[in-house]
Amino acid sequence: MRKRFEDQLNELNRLMTKMGELLDEALKMTVEAMASKDIDLAKKVIPHDKAVDEMEKDIEALCMRLLMQQQPVARDLRFVSSALKIITDMERIGDHTSDISENIIYMAKEDYSPHIGDILNMADIATQMVKDSIRAFVQKDLELAQEVLTKDDGVDAIFLKVKLELVEKMRQDASFGEQALDIMMIAKYFERIGDHAENIAEWVEFSITGTHRKTRG
């Protein structure tokens, strides 16, 4: 019985890794499409979201089988229940990459604001956070998860900088308003991706330590 359970846990790790690879590929394509104004590449990101959605369903089904059929002990129970939480954040990251790509397609014919450089920096940090948080879960690496948690403030700081500068730019030039809103949306999506990576890292902490920082007194 335990051998079968271990095999299913290995399958869970495999599927989580594969879902993470899909997200990493989608995020990298999104950043490249934004940097190069590549509409065709941006369009390729959107099918990735559907693939991520399918992976979420497969992992959810496997987790439910593990919980209902195997009666896992405490640590294994935390691992499986954390996976269920994590795939929700992963699915939302997939949604955000698709949303960003749609904005890129819309904006590609315009001259970019200089703020795109800040957003690309934000995107690089958020992309690494996602990759590291999922790797931390699969490898049960508490230190790596905690490193991810230290990076979210950097994403938030860039977002705040971009937001304040865009608001000031709109005050100075009303014709800039439409592009400013598009850029703000992209920045917000990357900020949310960072938040989701932070959530994943917190669930990694819980799966290893049994304590979730948002429930600490």
For the stretch 46-89, pLDDT in tens is 888 889 999 999 999 999 988 887 677 788 889 999 999 999 99
pLDDT (tens digit, 9 = 90+) per residue, 99-121? 999 999 988 777 766 778 899 99
pLDDT score recorded for residue 215: 59
The predicted model gives 171-187 an average pLDDT of 83
d(CA 183, CA 150): 25
Q: How many domains does the chain contain in total? A: 1
Mean of per-residue pLDDT scores for the chain: 90
pTM: 0.92
Q: Which amino acid is at 172?
A: Q
Between 170 and 217, the more confident residue is 170
Between 166 and 81, the more confident residue is 81
* Cβ contact 110:179 at 8 Å: yes
pLDDT score recorded for residue 1: 56
CATH at residue 183: 1.20.58.220
What is the domain extent for residue 97? 2-215
| Cα separations in angstroms, 171 against 44, 157, 174, 176 | 36, 22, 6, 9
d(CA 2, CA 73): 11
